[in-house]
Amino acid sequence: MSDPVRVFDGHNDALLRLWRDDRPATQAFAVESPGHITLPRARAGGFGGGFFAMFALDPQVGLDFAIFDNPPYDTPLPPQMSRDVAWRVIMGQAQVAQELDQAGQVWMCKTGAELRRAWNAGDPMAMVLHLEGAECIGPDLAELDTLFDLGLRSIGPVWSRPTVFAHGVPFRYPSDGDTGPGLTAAGRALVRACVARGMVVDCSHMTMKGFYDVADEGAALVATHSNAHAVSPSARNLTDDQLRAIGQTGGMAGLNFGTVFLRPDGRRNAAGALDHAIAHLDRMIDMAGEDHVGLGSDFDGAPMPEGLDSAADLPNLVQRMRDAGYGDQLIAKLCHENWLRFLERTLP
Ligand SMILES: [Zn+2]
């Protein structure tokens, strides 16, 4: 059997999972399971790296996936989270990232050139450190340079929760992302600061107004883990106009494998969910262009489709692409080359 096509992925929550695990992170990462991304599963499936998110999990407010069993649904946005609590949670996950890097299980990449070196070396997997929800940063952005020095190179100003910077979309189906206000003045300053440092600004959980505000501040439009609204009308997915804007600004959209964002009916049901992946990719490519679409698995953060139960199953998605008539060149672009080129252009 030939080696699997290698994947550079737009989004996963492995750091959150490892931070919550009682075992040392390097130990939990090295065993087969549980977890969508572990070293053995990554090797088996060709998972060669990606954006690794740090997420400010609010100990007070959980998200109950059972809501996704009964569309239509509309979950109220959770309250804003305290900066102090968020900072402790994020520093815990930054520590996990450092431990994996120091143990040689990942290669934390801080420049585009370093990322290409890591990718070409092949092992360990490449990590670009991402912040999903900027609750740990104050409106004066004082924490930004500390985070940058820790290796952070990508920020989503919001998860599906308000921050001092922007407003997230609720988990609402059916709906488009026009669910609330855009960037605040502090949010515009944060985007400009990211652009100045060569950091990625991720709009995946942001309202439609916020999304266009990000472009106004000069950033390439990126949605690391969002799908085509025309196929699955979730507030987390991107309208045709948003996808076109991503292409026009030289940005990227990453295919989210989460069943609730893949399925046209918005349900959690894993059976048959993978059947819709190609329809999303087709639409995303038609609207954004084939150089502006990649993968954004949401591994370790979302319910996965049958047949794509972990990183070990990535070849099943590649096979769907082949079955749909995608050629080797397009498959390479979607699986890694577009993200790598984008990051080479963006990171300092
Ligand atoms: Zn997310």
CA–CA distance, 176 with 83 (Å, rounded to integer): 29
Cα(1) to ligand 1 centroid in Å equals: 34
Cα(225) to ligand 1 centroid in Å equals: 7
> Tens of pLDDT along 254-309?
999 999 999 999 999 999 999 999 999 999 999 999 999 999 999 999 999 999 99
Which residues, other chains included, contact 312 with Cβ-Cβ below 8 Å and sequence gap of 6+? 40, 41, 42, 44, 45
Q: What proportion of the chain, given as a percentage, has pLDDT over 90?
A: 96
Q: Is residue 68 classed as helix, strand or coil in its secondary structure?
A: helix
Q: What is the mean pLDDT of residues 167-191?
A: 97
Cα(292) to ligand 1 centroid in Å equals: 19
Cα(156) to ligand 1 centroid in Å equals: 9
Cα(302) to ligand 1 centroid in Å equals: 8
Cα(298) to ligand 1 centroid in Å equals: 7
Nearest Cα residue to 15 out of 82, 84, 101: 101
pLDDT grade for 63, boundaries at 50, 70 and 90: confident
Cα(223) to ligand 1 centroid in Å equals: 10
CA–CA distance, 74 with 292 (Å, rounded to integer): 30
| Superfamily designation of domain 7-346 | Metal-dependent hydrolases (3.20.20.140)
Is the confidence at residue 1, as pLDDT, over 70?
no
Q: What is the mean pLDDT of residues 130-146?
A: 98
Nearest Cα residue to 173 out of 236, 255, 223, 239: 236
Cα(169) to ligand 1 centroid in Å equals: 11
Q: Could you tell me how many helices (H) and strands (E) the chain has, helices first? A: 14, 11
Angle 316-255-117 (CA atoms, 0-180°, nearest 5)?
85
CA–CA distance, 54 with 134 (Å, rounded to integer): 10
Q: Spell out the alpha helix ranges (H) of 31-177.
A: 39-45, 83-102, 112-121, 144-149
Q: What is the mean pLDDT of residues 118-123?
A: 97
Q: What is the mean pLDDT of residues 223-242?
A: 98
Q: Is residue 10 classed as helix, strand or coil in its secondary structure?
A: strand
> Tens of pLDDT along 209-220?
999 999 999 999
- Taking phi over 0 as left and psi of -120 to 50 as alpha, with beta for the rest, 50 belongs to left
Cα(2) to ligand 1 centroid in Å equals: 33
Cα(132) to ligand 1 centroid in Å equals: 7
CA–CA distance, 125 with 221 (Å, rounded to integer): 26
Q: What is the mean pLDDT of residues 172-194?
A: 98
CA–CA distance, 237 with 234 (Å, rounded to integer): 5
Question: With contact defined as beta carbons under 8 Å apart, do 288 and 243 qualify?
Answer: yes
Cα(256) to ligand 1 centroid in Å equals: 9
Instruction: Report pTM.
Output: 0.98
φ, ψ for residue 123 (rounded to 5)?
Answer: -150, 130
Which residues, other chains included, contact 140 with Cβ-Cβ below 8 Å and sequence gap of 6+? none
Cα(64) to ligand 1 centroid in Å equals: 15
Cα(159) to ligand 1 centroid in Å equals: 6
Question: With contact defined as beta carbons under 8 Å apart, do 336 and 128 qualify?
Answer: no
Is the confidence at residue 26, as pLDDT, over 80?
yes
Cα(122) to ligand 1 centroid in Å equals: 27
Is the confidence at residue 60, as pLDDT, over 90?
no
